[in-house]
């Protein structure tokens, strides 16, 4: 793995996390007025429309795949991850839900070693568990965030890890557009069956927010797929912890919900751990390039 590919994969992951957290903030605002499944459907329906417009006549060839069941499982994991997290936002604050969901890098790193044959070196383990320690500082076990609804973002972490590992596995074999379209179609069709039972007609201003959720989700998912296709999953996984930092910022800007001192300390630990992994992996990749 070259230094350039490592750097590119990490930057793509950071951009994906940035976009996903903005999407989550917009979704949290919409979920206060509309059923969560409707907001989840808009996220996938928007992606389906955007990808179809971008691909045009190329969409047919992109849907031809030698791994249909892998795409089905990956799409199911993606739908579950989004659904669990959006449902959690109806009960839990954005920073707290993100912190709980960001246990996923541990699962991704361990899963990549077990199922994808990636190395589980000391640098990666240190980065993952140091960032996890930062997340625990923020959520402080025993605090009121640990209610029954906290199981939803934890379920998101499991589903996200499954999606990430399958994305990494498929990414080396097929165009990223295939994964984007299959994920969008799966979520749109599955939730479309349920949609008539819970539909609430959006107001005109909110229609723009629904479309924005689809646009942000599409761009973020594209970055995720490209990141996992470019760089080993265990390298980029710790950078998903930056979601706690971004979500805390949006929580202040959009909902006037200020993080406390423990949240700021935990965020500092997370950023430091991520920067350490980035630096060490880049140095190691450069040494490999020279040999």
Q: What is the pLDDT of residues 255-284, one digit of tens each?
A: 888 777 777 787 788 778 777 776 776 676
Q: What is the largest CA-CA distance in the chain?
A: 61
- How many Cβ atoms sit within 10 Å of the Cβ of residue 136? 14
Q: Please state which of the ranges 119-133, 139-153, 169-183, 224-238 shows the lowest mean pLDDT.
A: 139-153
Domain parsing of the chain, residue ranges: 3-286
What pLDDT was estimated at residue 281? 66
The pLDDT confidence band at residue 286, using thresholds 50, 70 and 90, is low
Report the C-alpha gap between 120 and 117 in whole angstroms.
Answer: 9
Output the CA torsion sign for 96, 11, 46, 173. Answer: negative
Is residue 18 pLDDT above 90, yes or no?
yes
- Whether 21 and 247 have beta carbons less than 8 Å apart is answered as yes
DSSP conformational letter for 68: H
The percentage of the chain sitting over the pLDDT mark of 70, rounded to a whole number, equals 90
């Amino acid at each position: 793995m070259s230094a350039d590919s490592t750097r590119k994969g990490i930057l793509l992951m950071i951009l994906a996390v940035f976009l996903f957290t903005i999407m989550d903030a917009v979704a949290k605002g919409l979920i206060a007025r509309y059923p969560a499944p409707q907001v989840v459907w808009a996220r996938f329906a928007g992606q389906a429309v955007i990808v179809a417009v971008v691909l045009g006549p190329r969409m047919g060839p992109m849907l031809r795949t030698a791994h249909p069941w892998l795409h089905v499982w990956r799409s199911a994991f993606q739908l579950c991850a989004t659904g669990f997290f959006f449902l959690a936002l109806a009960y839990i604050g954005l920073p707290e839900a993100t912190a709980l969901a960001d246990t996923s890098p541990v699962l991704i790193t361990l899963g990549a070693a077990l199922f994808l044959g990636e190395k589980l070196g000391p640098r990666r383990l240190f980065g993952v568990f140091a960032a996890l320690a930062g997340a625990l500082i923020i959520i402080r076990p025993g605090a009121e965030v640990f209610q029954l609804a906290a199981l939803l973002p934890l379920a998101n972490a499991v589903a996200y890890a499954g999606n990430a590992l399958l994305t990494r596995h498929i990414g080396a074999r097929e165009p990223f557009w295939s994964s984007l379209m299959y994920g969008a179609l799966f979520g749109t069709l599955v939730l479309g069956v349920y949609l008539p039972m819970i539909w609430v007609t959006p107001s005109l201003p909110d229609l723009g927010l629904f479309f924005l959720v689809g646009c942000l989700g599409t761009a973020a998912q594209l970055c995720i797929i490209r990141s996992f296709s470019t760089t080993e999953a265990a390298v980029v996984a710790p950078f998903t912890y930056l979601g706690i930092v971004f979500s805390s910022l949006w929580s202040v800007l959009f909902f006037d919900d200020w993080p406390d001192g423990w949240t700021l300390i935990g965020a500092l630990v997370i950023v430091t751990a991520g920067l350490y992994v980035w630096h060490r992996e880049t140095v190691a990749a450069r040494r490999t390039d020279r040999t």
